Amino acid sequence: MSNDDISPLDVVLDVNGRGRYFDADGVAISMGAWARLTQDESYKVLARERVGDFEIITAWLGSDQGDWAGPPLIFGTTARRLSTNEFLEEQEVFAATAAKALTNHATLVDSLRCA
């Protein structure tokens, strides 16, 4: 997605003047642009894999899941038990880049394969 059509006035800032919503490249975007991107499954989902009774998914979330002290953590990796549809919150991990998120994905897949 191009940010050419987004005015700087459209970007939502937090109390520290930092963007609230980010595209997959970490560029601050408007809430409207974020909402459109969340509807695009091919943009949002980086990896999805099944290991036994678990589905591991890594996705762009587009909003900072961190404490705002470092770079925005806009990607998440989690596992869901398919038989109960329960997410394993203790396995949830966030990342600032797609590359790190995919590394987290591979690590979680490996850990579930070895369990």
- Asked whether residue 1 is domain-assigned, the answer is no
Write down the pLDDT at residue 10: 63
Q: What is the mean pLDDT of residues 23-30?
A: 92
Domain span at residue 74 reads: 8-114
- Asked whether residue 2 is domain-assigned, the answer is no
Whether 70 and 31 have beta carbons less than 8 Å apart is answered as: no
Question: 42: which 2 tokens?
Answer: 């091919």
- Whose CA is closest to 74, among 32, 108, 28? 28
Q: Compute how many other C-beta atoms are within 10 angstroms of the C-beta atom of residue 9.
A: 6
What percent of the chain has pLDDT above 90?
Answer: 65
User: What pLDDT, in 10s, does the model give residues 51-105?
Assistant: 999 999 999 999 989 877 789 999 999 999 999 999 988 889 999 999 999 999 9
Number of domains present in the structure of the chain: 1
- Asked whether residue 84 is domain-assigned, the answer is yes
- Asked whether residue 3 is domain-assigned, the answer is no
Read off the pTM.
Answer: 0.84
- Asked whether residue 36 is domain-assigned, the answer is yes
